[in-house]
Amino acid sequence: MTDHSQSVYGGVSRANHWIGALLFAGVLSVGFYLAYSGIEGPDRRSLMGMHRATGTVLLLFALWRVIWRLRQGFPSPLDGVPAWQVIFARITHWGLIACMLAMPLSGVFMMSLLGGRGIDIYGLFTIPPILEIEGIRPIGRQVHGIVAFTFVGLIGLHILGALKHLLIDRDGTVQRMLAGGRR
Ligand code: HEM
Ligand code: HEM
């Protein structure tokens, strides 16, 4: 699979994007549900187990995503997109990538492995704690929450930008993330 063109997203990038969008939106939703729904008891424990395990797996996915984007660079913007929009989009894209890393990193390390807690991966195996740093878990909880809201804000901006390209500019930006678009 080639992904070296300057102006299109190749198959790997498109698969990364849409699988990632679905999984991160899913884990974000479950996180907010856990934090604000008041769910208790065994239901909470099993949903929390899923959240922790899936979030941990997404750390690997996010690392892969960063490596891929650093190796490939971003495709150049389509002709006619003003410079300020290109810069704004670039900042948003890196912000989204940073959130994809910071969410699981704060969960895995600050709330778990450095806070004296292991992580059970779907009952298959448990990642043992590394050490117990006094007071790191509440800090992790705060970081996790702040990054979560930042992430949602960036996703909102990102979707508004996509809608603008789709409905107002009608310039093929969304199409190139859907089908590779025109060269
Ligand atoms: C893609 C990765 C992840 C995403 C998108 C995510 C998202 C969220 C969100 C949105 C919340 C609610 C935040 C709030 O407003 O307070 C949350 C809470 C939480 N997350 Fe994550 N999370 C991820 C990974 C993890 C991991 C890897 C762990 C632990 C191993 C974890 C453990 C927790 C815990 C313990 C809570 C607190 C729930 C509560 O207060 O009831 N998360 N997460
Ligand atoms: C309905 C939801 C979404 C739509 C319509 C959408 C659309 C797009 C489009 C059209 C691009 C290409 C922009 C360009 O050509 O310059 C793009 C790039 C990108 N999107 Fe989304 N997106 C969505 C959700 C998400 C979510 C939830 C995330 C984060 C988890 C995300 C992360 C990214 C990133 C990081 C890029 C930069 C390219 C890359 O490295 O993959 N997107 N998106």
CA distances from 105 to 89, 99, 108, 122, 147 (A): 24, 9, 5, 19, 11
Residue 108 inside a domain? The answer is yes
Report whether residue 147 contacts ligand 1, using a CB cutoff of 6 Å: no
Report whether residue 162 contacts ligand 2, using a CB cutoff of 6 Å: yes
**Residue to mutate (ligand 2; options 8, 96, 165; most atoms within 8 A of CB):** 96
DSSP secondary structure code for residue 26 in this structure = H
Residue 1 inside a domain? The answer is no
Which domain does 101 fall in, by range? Answer: 11-175
Per-residue pLDDT, 6: 66
Is 90 exceeded by the pLDDT of residue 50? yes
Domain count within the chain: 1
Residue 4 inside a domain? The answer is no
Is 70 exceeded by the pLDDT of residue 139? yes
Ligand 2 atom closest to Cα of residue 68? 40
37-51, 71-85, 122-136 — which is least confidently predicted? 71-85
Per-residue pLDDT, 82: 93
**CATH assignment at residue 118:** 1.20.950.20
Residue 114 inside a domain? The answer is yes
Q: Report the SS3 class of residue 126.
A: strand
CA-nearest residue, atom 32 of ligand 1:
107
Ligand 2 atom closest to Cα of residue 174? 10
What digits encode the pLDDT tens for the residues 111-124?
A: 999 999 999 999 99
The one-letter amino acid code at 48 reads M
Whole-structure pTM value: 0.94
Segment 167-172 shows an average pLDDT of 93
